[in-house]
Structure 1
């Protein structure tokens, strides 16, 4: 019997567990501003609020820690991550590298039909009623850009940092909400225009300026 003919022994497949569902609910609470950066996430309190045992909550917090939006320390409650200046700089540089490639691919290869979800995501911003809703629209827009790039590994790389970028934007609106809703709507309309113009260099530069505004605001504290 050759090596390729030997029976394969694998652990039985498991369905999506309750821990993943609990993680979805906690993540949603973070992204809606119910759990602010630095806020404690106590297993007992979360289990009672969600009407589950502590086991799924513990699993959920471990999952969210791997996403980078929860941090834990030995013998202390987990907390919602507070991104340091170094965290923000690393996240911004990585996001920039990924997004530059995505924008170039969209400009050079995406059809007009591929641009439709991006346009619709920008239009959805007009319906956002509060900063947290706008942050979700912002992330939805960039999801659409990465999807339109038609590059599976690039999309996976974006998915790996997506939750941290979401948290970054939450911290951005917590720093200053002055004129935020109108400013972000206008910026994304301009980004759509840049993609439609099919000028890769101009579009990459405009996305860079868009990222820099939030980065500067968060790191300067102004």
Structure 2
């Protein structure tokens, strides 16, 4: 049996690094939906091989962030109404289950962490932080809910759509920043309060409505554009 050279592990690490850097650039708004991702330019910018970039892009394709294929350019996914409906429908079901499961399983430290994230969101809104910064706190809140639920398979399902949710929410923020800014603190504060002491059925409805409201807001702005 041949031993796999350590050099291959390094290349795999570079591919992960490439995926991380490109993902960060997409989430920061540097690559907009539909924008091309050129392998040669990315490799030069990251100072790594085109092969590592190609592997990293493949990872992002599996996350649903980019589209690529034979004889077609690699691009950041477009945010279409059909995609929005699919992703947010899945997210609504997952978030509902995550919220009620977290309410049953969360430790006091988890609930305190959610309250702290709401406070950070409120501070960011008061300081007029840019949309991507607010969104990062928003997603961190939901990451914590899934962690508090303590269901590994549920968390895996969340991570399967998480990158697309971030991208779609980023598009929502870019098309209607003030609408998002006006609601983000109150909506997350309500979720945190209900997970601490609220009625289970009301929490389930609020968690689902939170996602449906985001879906409708984004669809309205896509149609307007």
What TM-score, normalized by structure 1, do the two folds share?
0.89
Mark the structure with the bigger radius of gyration: 1
Out of 111, 114, 120, the position equivalent to 1:118 is 114
Please say if 1:155 is aligned against 2:151.
Answer: no
Q: Secondary structure at the match of 1:213?
A: helix
Looking at structure 2, the residues matched to 209 and 115 of structure 1 have their Cα atoms a distance apart, in angstroms, of: 21
The question of whether the paired residues in 1 share the 8 Å contact of 2:91 and 2:211 is answered with no
1:46-103 deviation per Cα after TM superposition (whole angstroms, max 9, x unaligned): 1111122211111111110010000114223211111322221111111111111111
For 2:55, the equivalent position in structure 1 comes to 59
Cα distance change of structure 1 residues 11 and 65 upon mapping to structure 2, 3 Å threshold:
farther
Matching residue of 1:176: 176
Residue 121 of structure 1 deviates from its aligned partner by 2.0
Q: Which among 34, 41, 63 is matched to residue 37 of structure 2?
A: 41
Higher normalized helix content (fraction of residues) = 2
Helix, strand or coil at the partner of 2:75: strand
Deviation, 1:184, is 0.7
> In structure 2, which of residues 85, 90, 106 is the aligned counterpart of residue 89 of structure 1?
85
CA contact (8 A) 1:27 1:64 kept: yes
Instruction: Tell me the CA shift for residue 195 of structure 1.
Output: 1.3
Which segments of 5 or more consecutive residues in structure 1 lack a partner in the other structure? 1-8
Q: Structure 2 unaligned runs (5+)?
A: none
Point out the more displaced range, 136-145 or 200-209. Answer: 200-209
Length, aligned pairs only: 214
**Partner residue of 1:132?**
132
Deviation at 1:127, TM superposition (A): 4.1
Match in the other structure for 2:15:
19
Aligned CA RMSD, in angstroms, stands at: 1.9
Matches within 5 A, 1:65-104: 65-104=61-100
The Cα shift of 1:141 comes to 0.5
The answer on whether the counterparts of 2:93 and 2:208 sit within 8 Å (CA) in structure 1 is no
Alignment TM-score, normalising by the size of structure 2? 0.88
- Which structure exhibits the higher relative contact order, with contacts defined as CA atoms closer than 8 Å and separated by 6 or more residues? 2
Q: Is the 8 A contact 1:102 1:145 kept in 2?
A: yes
Residues 11 and 198 (structure 1 numbering): CA distance in 2 closer, same or farther, change over 3 Å?
farther
